[in-house]
Amino acid sequence: MGGTVDPRRYVEDVVARSGSSFRLGMQCMPRAGRNAMYAIYAFCRELDDVADEPGKTTDKLQKLVEWRSEIDQLYEGQPTHPIARALLGPVRHFNLPKAEFLAVIDGMQMDVGGPIWGPSFEELMLYCRRVAGAVGMLSIHVFGETRPPAPDLATSLGKALQLTNILRDVFEDAADHRLYLPQELLNKYNVRAREPGALLVDPALASVCGDLAEYAKLAFVEADSTLARLDRRKMRPAILMKAVYQRMLANLEARGWDRLAEPIRISRSEKIWLAFRHSFFS
């Protein structure tokens, strides 16, 4: 498949099908940067699918091994998968660090190796660094702003976005026997359930989510502080992504943590308004 498929069209289709909140942030970029971000997003989406799809753990781990090999081939100039082929130009043009692609794979391996259920706070932060902070580190290379403190922004904003994702998906993840809420907060509120049914009806779960939301808000504050010292024009895609996710977190809080089964999404009109606001008034 790798040699017959147009790699650019392939990753564009992945992004178009995803309905991702990141799409508007990517669309506002110049073509070279946009193509790079599409390829990075498609890579992450592909690995997400490996972790989330049904199947044997051994088969999933083998797919991650194959992706490690594909990244090796990419940096040797001989990629075969359409996504890796789409990454070849950006890797060279933007000097994308190989270690960050491997970090994303490491994060997915944490998911695949056994369903995560109540990790320690330290483990949760490592997970966020791998699956989100690594993407941030790749992104700042594309944005053209890698000088300090840009790496701090990559990790703090990555943490904020991932914690918001976790809070958005508590109900859905629990149904898949996954729980990313940290053990320290579960212990604080005496949440002991190990089964989704019991967990989701525990009234103390709302307090756990509320506390984790405060950590997410602190991470957004850290990101704001760092952004103030960077070229905001270059960082406009990050500013837009931050705005969308801050709105999502605010909507989650307004809905209430005792109503986890009710999905929250940002409407297209909200995203367009945020894009307009942060394109012209940031």
Q: What is the pLDDT of residues 158-203, one digit of tens each?
A: 999 999 999 999 999 999 899 999 999 999 999 999 899 899 999 9
Residues 177 and 220 in one domain: yes
- Lowest average pLDDT, out of 24-38, 136-150, 221-235, goes to 24-38
Q: How many domains does the chain have?
A: 2
The pLDDT of residue 55 is above 90: no
Degrees to nearest 5, angle at CA 73 with 67 and 77: 140
Is residue 103 a part of any domain in this protein? no
Residue 281: pLDDT band with limits 50, 70, 90 = very low
Total Cβ atoms within 10 A of residue 83: 26
Tokens 């986890």 -> residue: 260
Residues 234 and 129 in one domain: yes
Is residue 107 a part of any domain in this protein? no
Taking the C-alpha atoms of residue 161 and residue 246, their distance in angstroms, rounded to an integer, is: 8
The pLDDT of residue 280 is above 50: no
User: Which residue among 96, 124, 142 closes a domain?
Assistant: 96
Taking the C-alpha atoms of residue 257 and residue 27, their distance in angstroms, rounded to an integer, is: 32
Q: Rounded to two decimals, what is the model's pTM?
A: 0.93
Residues 121 and 89 in one domain: no
Tokens 């483990």 -> residue: 123
Residues 54 and 146 in one domain: no
Total Cβ atoms within 10 A of residue 214: 10
Residues 40 and 153 in one domain: no
- Residue 229 sits in a domain whose CATH number is 1.10.600.10
Residues 156 and 219 in one domain: yes
Phi, psi dihedrals of residue 191, rounded to the nearest 5°? -90, 110
Which of 31, 174, 48 is closest to 112 using CA atoms? 48
The pLDDT of residue 278 is above 60: no
Residue 26: pLDDT band with limits 50, 70, 90 = confident
Which residue segment(s) compose the domain that 89 sits in?
1-96
Residues with Cβ < 8 Å from 10, sequence gap 6 or more?
42, 82, 83, 86
Residues 258 and 128 in one domain: yes
Residues 124 and 189 in one domain: yes
User: Which residue among 96, 124, 157 closes a domain?
Assistant: 96
Cα 263 to Cα 109, 162, 251, distances in angstroms: 27, 17, 10
Residues 85 and 201 in one domain: no
Residues 217 and 266 in one domain: yes
User: Which residue among 96, 124, 146 closes a domain?
Assistant: 96
Residues 126 and 254 in one domain: yes
What pLDDT shows up at residue 114? 80
